[in-house]
Amino acid sequence: MSVIVAPSVLSADFGNLQRDVEMLNNSEAEWIHIDIMDGSYVPNISFGFPVLKAIRKHTKKVCDVHLMVVQPERYFQEFRDAGADVITIHHEAVTHLDSAIHQIKATGAKAGVALNPSTPVSVLKEVIHLLDLVLVMSVNPGFGGQKFISNSVQKVRDANELIHSTGSSALIEVDGGIGTNNAKQLIEAGANVLVAGNAVFGSDDPMLTIQQIKNAAE
Ligand code: DX5
Ligand code: ZN
């Protein structure tokens, strides 16, 4: 059972971003996870369109854009034009979730919805058939390098159950505090995509760490 690894460039060296993206290009990571934080939905500010465009210029990998932004509908087309392949929004950040998902899909991007640690999977019941991705947050959003919240493993099982019982084809992505120590249990619970920031970019051998996360359940 293999998983897609999505290294989060939030933990990359921004002074050497091209070098770090080229390292990912040579690695077994299929996706690159790009965290957009607006200082309002979450307490932190990360980066915006110019950085996404710069990453896009140097990679053919799937650009997986995670919007921690209030009223993200304002920016879907702009993120798509800047290179997003997948656009994920937070359940709490939009007033009309069904409409927002349709708006993402209208740009041609895949659509995901993220669930904070305190948000149950059941909020997705009425929209699960529309989704390409369910993002289970395994830390409170806002910062890299936080401790994994262990309840997230059950949340992945719950998401898996909802997806299978409804015939949805959504992938399950898990984000926050993931590394070689906990990848196996998440894959076994049903995760398809694992985000890793600190574990990859804080490693002495990032390409090896990516490979170890990818093959953690074998
Ligand atoms: C947190 C972000 C994560 C973060 C993960 O708000 O959504 O994608 O970059 O970083 P690590 O793997 O260091 O927890
Ligand atoms: Zn993220």
Render each residue's pLDDT in the chain as its tens digit; 218 residues.
679 999 999 999 999 999 999 999 999 999 999 999 999 999 999 999 999 999 999 999 999 999 999 999 999 999 999 999 999 999 999 999 999 999 999 999 999 999 999 999 999 999 999 999 999 999 999 999 999 999 999 999 999 999 999 999 999 999 999 999 999 999 999 999 999 999 999 999 999 999 999 999 98
User: Which pLDDT value is given to residue 218?
Assistant: 87
Name the nearest CA neighbour of 114 among 88, 94, 140. Answer: 88
Give the pLDDT of residue 76.
Answer: 98
The residues pairing with 135 across neighbouring beta strands, listed in sequence order, are 114, 173
Catalytic option among 13, 20, 35, 64 = 35
CA 146 to ligand 1: nearest atom:
14
Can you read off the two tokens belonging to residue 107?
Answer: 């740009």
The verdict on the CB of residue 195 being under 6 Å from ligand 1 is yes
From 47, 76, 49, 59, select the one nearest 18 (Cα to Cα).
59
Place of tokens 């392949």: 85
Query: In terms of CATH, what superfamily is 4-214?
Result: Aldolase class I (3.20.20.70)
Q: Of all atoms in ligand 1, which is nearest to the CA of residue 200?
A: 12
| CA distances for 113 relative to 11, 95, 101, 119, angstroms | 22, 13, 8, 11
The whole-number pLDDT of residue 1 equals 60
Distance CA 96, CA 144 (A): 28
| pTM of the complete model beyond 0.95 | yes
CA–CA gap between residue 156 and residue 174 (Å, rounded): 8
Calculate how far, in angstroms, residue 204's C-alpha sits from the geometric centre of ligand 2.
22
Residue 9 CA from chain centroid, whole number: 11
